[in-house]
């Protein structure tokens, strides 16, 4: 926490978020150019349960590159969830930079 949002991607044959190395590099360059502090993460967990499938997994199976980018939260799905205001701020800046960027597929 307090080190910026996380960027979760997978480069390869995984049932989660998948993107080509070029897409991952392009997204990381967009964030760096906007001076957004972020935490690149390879894989947060291994999906062994089909019930854990997300919309990102559905899109990646259709051939679309997917990324998970967001605020890290301590105690997710508990009574007391905690998020740092700096992480929220840099998540906002990162999303803004991505939407303004000239994405090249």
The tally of domains found in the chain comes to 1
Question: Which structural domain range is residue 46 located in?
Answer: 6-100
- Residue 83 pLDDT more than 80? yes
- Does residue 10 sit within a domain? yes
Between CA 99 and CA 95 the distance in angstroms is 6
| pLDDT at site 54 | 66
The contacts of residue 62 (CB under 8 Å, 6+ apart) are none
- Does residue 77 sit within a domain? yes
- Does residue 40 sit within a domain? yes
Q: What are the E-state strand segments in the chain?
A: 6-8, 39-41, 68-70
Between CA 51 and CA 71 the distance in angstroms is 23
- Residue 12 pLDDT more than 50? no
Q: Mind listing the pLDDT tens digit for each residue in 18-71?
A: 677 788 888 889 999 999 998 887 554 444 444 455 676 677 777 777 778 888
- Does residue 105 sit within a domain? no
């Amino acid at each position: 926490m307090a080190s910026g949002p996380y960027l979760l991607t997978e480069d390869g044959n995984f049932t989660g978020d998948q993107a080509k190395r070029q897409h991952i590099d392009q997204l990381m360059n967009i964030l760096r150019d906007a001076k957004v502090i972020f935490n690149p993460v390879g894989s947060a967990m291994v999906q062994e349960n089909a019930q854990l499938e997300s919309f990102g997994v559905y899109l990646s199976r259709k051939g679309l590159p997917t990324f998970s980018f967001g605020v890290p939260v301590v105690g997710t799905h508990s009574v007391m969830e905690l998020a740092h205001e700096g992480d929220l701020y840099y998540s906002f800046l990162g999303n803004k930079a991505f939407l303004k960027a000239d994405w090249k597929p």
